[in-house]
Amino acid sequence: MTRSRTALAALAATALGGVTALSACGGGGGDDPLAGASATTAASGQIVVGSANFPESELLMDIYAGALEAKGMQVSTKPNIGSRETYIPGLKDGSINLVPEYTGVLAQYFAKDAGKKVSGTTSDEVYTELKSVLPQGMTVGAKSAAEDKDAVVVTKETADTYKLKTIADLAPVAGQMVLGGPAEWKTRETGVPGLKSIYNLTFKEFKALDSGGPLTVQALKNGQVQAANLFTTDPNIAANGFVPLEDPKSMFAAQNVVPLMAASASTPQVTQALDAVSAKLTTEQLAAMVTQVVIDKKDAEDVADEFLQKNGLGG
């Protein structure tokens, strides 16, 4: 691949050692990595593809970038930007043109700004609602079959002790437990407020950690938290024997992978290339690729290139 990357820390969490985790909801902000970035748009001949600050997002960034390059477009990437609160403004000001996203949480993010609520739970319902709440100047491509959903996860020992199978089963014991998750979970509808309003759960304490990363995994393993937010394609769940609790009330709506674009970058050529990726990407493939990046420590760009070649989408 010939695309250029900006000098942002890619897969920074892997430098911590051990097993790195991932997230479908994006991480915290910190210093703005887009500050001072020059606006680069598709109109100037280059597509700038960004990612949130977790491994799966960077992998998807590389898949999108590679698919666009294979169609002859000039592409650069900005990995590890941060949370939606950071990269959505980047889409608006032109410092990035495209970022991988997830239908359910993205719909909830924009619906809240519009004073609305997302009521759908199925893939098609959520995708339709997402398109209805997109702000002016933004668009999405076709959704893929691949999903990565939020989950409330406990250790096998905790699940066995309290006979936990679903989130609802936490009701009698939540008051004895510390819940761990990203800082934004304290206020997001898919976090502490939703667990209270939908499942009537009041935890002893909420502990702000990282976005499904090594801090959360370690805190769950060593008992600092008894329940935590991890994500369904996360290989740490199987590696540690964690138990993701079922969500019978569909608090976590469908979370299909979808490209979010600045409308100015959404040319027919760009849309066709991205839709071809969405048509091929499955949850099983995504989970397997994330395992290669997170567990096997393979380079995300190499894993992305292999996916594109296998599916006839590479150069």
Both 154 and 138 in one domain: the answer is no
Both 187 and 160 in one domain: the answer is yes
The pTM (predicted TM-score) of the whole model is 0.81
Q: What is the pLDDT along the chain (315 residues), one digit of tens a residue?
A: 445 655 443 333 333 333 334 445 444 444 445 544 444 444 456 899 999 988 899 999 999 999 999 999 999 999 999 888 889 999 999 999 999 999 998 998 899 877 788 888 899 999 999 999 999 999 999 999 999 999 999 999 999 999 999 999 999 999 999 999 988 899 888 899 999 999 999 999 999 998 888 899 999 999 999 999 998 999 999 999 999 999 999 888 899 999 999 999 999 999 999 999 999 999 999 999 999 998 899 999 999 999 999 999 987
Residue 176 lies inside a defined structural domain of this protein: yes
State which residues form the domain around 39. 4-147+258-310
Q: How many domains does the chain have?
A: 2
CATH number of the CATH domain containing 298:
3.40.190.10
Residue 101 lies inside a defined structural domain of this protein: yes
Both 119 and 265 in one domain: the answer is yes
Both 86 and 217 in one domain: the answer is no
Residue 252 lies inside a defined structural domain of this protein: no
Both 302 and 226 in one domain: the answer is no
Both 125 and 264 in one domain: the answer is yes
Q: Which long-range contacts (CB under 8 A, 24 or more apart) does 169-176 make?
A: 169/245, 170/199, 170/201, 170/227, 170/245, 171/199, 171/200, 171/201, 174/201, 174/202, 174/203, 174/204, 174/227, 175/202, 175/203, 175/204, 176/204, 176/226
Both 265 and 128 in one domain: the answer is yes
Cα angle, residue 90 at apex, residues 87 and 92 outer, rounded to 5°: 120
CATH number of the CATH domain containing 200:
3.40.190.120
Both 266 and 230 in one domain: the answer is no
Both 168 and 271 in one domain: the answer is no
Cα angle, residue 181 at apex, residues 100 and 61 outer, rounded to 5°: 15
Both 162 and 136 in one domain: the answer is no
